[in-house]
Amino acid sequence: MVRFDENKGFSRHKLDRIMNIEIIDIPKNEKKQGNIAIIENNTVPFEIKRVYYLYDIPSSAKRGGHSHKSIQQVLIAISGSFDVILKDGISSEKITLNKPDKGLLIKNNIWRELENFSSGAVCLVLASAVYDEEDYIRNFKEYLKSKK
């Protein structure tokens, strides 16, 4: 399903499987001289409270390995590519991010693992809250228990 919201000016592609995964199209200005992708608060479905990015990541590295109790995030491969494995306790999906104008919306209570980073990959993250270790579940068994 593809949705375009004229008020908000972005479209969200819902990947219609069991899990609630959405790809957000980031508005861009394209020119022969190069492109600009523009992120404002209405580009994502939450108020952006924190921005961070993962970079200089060895190709063998595995990041993530946790869920968030309430924080929502949008992940963008602003350079290179990497895979995001998402689990909701029932199903599992692998999404490859490799376009700087596509954001993967990960709502709360979804387990994520990041791997297969290309050389020079940069993962930009927009988050709905400031850093709070209390918001993490870093043990998969504990995560599964929390879903019951």
- Nearer to ligand T46 by Cβ, of 43 and 72: the residue is 72
Kindly state whether residue 131 participates in binding ligand T46, applying the rule CB under 6 A: yes
Are 32 and 103 contacting, i.e. CB atoms less than 8 angstroms apart?
no
Kindly state whether residue 13 participates in binding ligand T46, applying the rule CB under 6 A: no
Task: Candidates 15, 78, 125, 129: give the one binding ligand T46 (CB under 6 A).
Answer: 125
**Nearest-approach distance from CB 37 to ligand T46, in angstroms:** 19
**Nearest-approach distance from CB 31 to ligand T46, in angstroms:** 31
The active-site residue out of 66, 79, 116, 129 is 66
66 catalytic, yes or no?
yes
Helix (H, G, I), strand (E, B) or coil at 67: strand
Kindly state whether residue 53 participates in binding ligand T46, applying the rule CB under 6 A: no
Asked whether the CA dihedral 147, 49, 117, 134 is positive or negative, the reply is negative
Are 109 and 67 contacting, i.e. CB atoms less than 8 angstroms apart?
yes
Are 139 and 98 contacting, i.e. CB atoms less than 8 angstroms apart?
no
- Nearer to ligand T46 by Cβ, of 8 and 140: the residue is 140
Are 106 and 75 contacting, i.e. CB atoms less than 8 angstroms apart?
yes
Q: Which residues contact 64 (CB under 8 A, 6 or more apart)?
A: 84, 112, 113, 114
Task: Candidates 12, 87, 107, 112: give the one binding ligand T46 (CB under 6 A).
Answer: 112
Give the active site residues.
Answer: 66
> Under the rule (CB under 6 A), what is the footprint of ligand T46?
52, 54, 63-64, 73, 75, 112, 114, 125, 131
